[in-house]
Amino acid sequence: MRSNLAARDVETLVHPYTNLAAFRETGPLVLERGHGVYVYDTDGRPYIEGMAGLWCTALGYSNEELVEAASEQLSRLPFTHLFSGRSHDPAIELAETLKELMPVPTSKVFFTSSGSEANDTQVKLLWYMNNALGRAAKKKIISHVKGYHGVTVATASMTGLPANHADWDLPLPGFLHAPCPHHYRGAEPGESEAAFSARLAGELDALILREGPETVAAFFVEPVMGAGGAIVPPAGYFEAIQPVLERHDVRLVADEVICGFGRLGTWFGSESLGIRPHTLSFAKAVTSGYLPLGGVSIDEPLYRAMLAESAKIGTFGHGTTYSGHPVACAVALKTIEIFRRDRIVEGVGAKAPHFQARLSGLADHPLVGEARGIGLIGGLEIVADKGSKRQYDPKAGVAARCVAFAQAEGLIVRFLAGDRIAICPPLVITSEEIDALFDRLTRALDRTLAWIAAEGLEAMPA
């Protein structure tokens, strides 16, 4: 049966973020095992997993301690829930541990099963809180163009990507989008990063005033914008926008689903980029991706509002079956234990200069307009003309072709909108593996350049 796995896949599965029509012709890459930073397909061929799965497999594949933690919890208490006052040791201990790690004052932790659920919960809690405070109009949510916050109805409305809105009847009313903080694409000629940040802060201020500060509840931000293009904000951006939010009593929510747990060289991305959020969302690397787990931090003012509303209504009417699943919590506890014992976060700081140097070196390639990152995350943008920043026709799928060439070279990376390519390897990657990753990506870029020449592709008109 293994020999026809690809055919069976095409006839049985719907794949997220995939051109479903084209996929019927190309079929899947079927993976069957992994070890360290490598995954292996059904033919035994190895690939460097340059996306840590989906921004999440921080400790790499087949970590025996995580497997053992899951197995031990499965044998002891495979499932119970947190509804109606029930609890269990792993959830209690994990909440205590996370409160210690949080970079913001945290009263409580609420668990979810994903980053989408975490951000959706944040929206609901904001609305719940403002109802408790008698501010029934203060419900609008701002996020960034090209920001990514999930795929539920609410979080897809926050996500600022066209494909997440087109023909889904989204965004919902009350979800607003501020300009993308991408200096390479958004700055005026000669505009410094600091000046660009100041201009964006002014535009955010104007947006809030136009809508009415009494109607705006919160601004959701990613420290580094992940699925929107692995975009690092310009210097001074968060320092510029936070006084605007404070002036208008708009809460700041940090979406740490990708940047949390070491990716930028600090436990949370907010610490690296000077963000002072009221609450934050987390998921992905908290279990190294081994089991689904997410959650939100809850500050004391929010918790007090939750208490008041639940007392008035008679219950806190929110939660999902797998919130705080004991096996997921046990794996998260072991993940954090390994992070602390093996100094994973400090290791990211030590490896980041080499990673970023190799990334920056790609800017010299004829196809690369921007190559920028922080910690162990990076993005590059393919352009047709480096001087004018003109791109190829999106229908040509140049970044997608480059990613296919990378796969042929034994490297998995991800193409994103705007002919951008993201790189986000496991945090346990070695210096030698970093070199192998970028060597393979360079060869993929070379093959892409040759393919462009053979196809006769040209830059789009200015």
**pLDDT at residue 1, as a whole number:** 45
Same-domain status, 43 and 78: no
Q: Is the dihedral of CA 93, 97, 99, 102 positive or negative?
A: negative
Strand ranges across the sheet with 108-112 = 108-112, 294-298, 279-282, 251-255, 216-221, 140-144, 175-178
Contact, 276 vs 312, CB < 8 A? Answer: no
User: What span, in angstroms and rounded, lies between the C-alpha atoms of 88 and 372?
Assistant: 43
Count CB-CB contacts under 10 A for residue 263.
30
Q: Calculate the CA dihedral of residues 313, 315, 318, 322 and round it to 10 degrees.
A: -170
Same-domain status, 117 and 188: yes
Domain boundary among 306, 324, 341: 341
**pLDDT at residue 140, as a whole number:** 98
Same-domain status, 362 and 332: no
- Domain span including residue 325: 66-341
User: What span, in angstroms and rounded, lies between the C-alpha atoms of 286 and 260?
Assistant: 8
Considering only CA atoms, give the Rg of the chain: 22
Q: Is the dihedral of CA 14, 15, 16, 18 positive or negative?
A: negative
Q: Which amino acid is at 111?
A: F
Distances (CA, A) of 256 to 119, 177, 260, 323, 341: 10, 19, 5, 18, 22
**pLDDT at residue 462, as a whole number:** 79
For residue 10, being part of any structural domain is answered with: yes
pLDDT along the chain (462 residues), means of 10: 80 95 94 98 97 98 98 98 97 98 98 98 98 98 98 98 97 98 98 98 98 98 98 98 98 98 98 98 98 98 97 97 98 98 98 98 98 98 97 96 98 96 98 98 98 96 84
User: What is the pTM (predicted TM-score) of this model?
Assistant: 0.97
Same-domain status, 143 and 190: yes
Same-domain status, 213 and 298: yes
Same-domain status, 360 and 284: no
User: What span, in angstroms and rounded, lies between the C-alpha atoms of 380 and 386?
Assistant: 13
The first and second tokens of residue 445, run together, are: 């870029």
User: What span, in angstroms and rounded, lies between the C-alpha atoms of 293 and 284?
Assistant: 7
For residue 83, being part of any structural domain is answered with: yes
CATH of the domain at 305: 3.40.640.10
Helices (H) and strands (E) in the chain, counts: 16, 15
Strand ranges across the sheet with 46-49 = 31-35, 38-41, 46-49, 411-412
Count CB-CB contacts under 10 A for residue 213.
15
User: What span, in angstroms and rounded, lies between the C-alpha atoms of 102 and 448?
Assistant: 43
Same-domain status, 54 and 73: no
Count CB-CB contacts under 10 A for residue 341.
9
Contact, 460 vs 391, CB < 8 A? Answer: yes
Same-domain status, 243 and 279: yes
Specify the length of the chain in residues.
462
Contact, 131 vs 202, CB < 8 A? Answer: no
The first and second tokens of residue 229, run together, are: 């293009």
Q: Exposure pattern of 126-157 as b/e (b: 16+ CB <10 Å)?
A: bbbbbbbeeeeebbbbbbbbbbbbbbbebbbb
Same-domain status, 149 and 221: yes
For residue 461, being part of any structural domain is answered with: no
Structurally, the chain folds into a number of domains equal to 2
Q: Which amino acid is at 251?
A: R
The first and second tokens of residue 150, run together, are: 């999930």
**pLDDT at residue 3, as a whole number:** 58
Count CB-CB contacts under 10 A for residue 77.
13
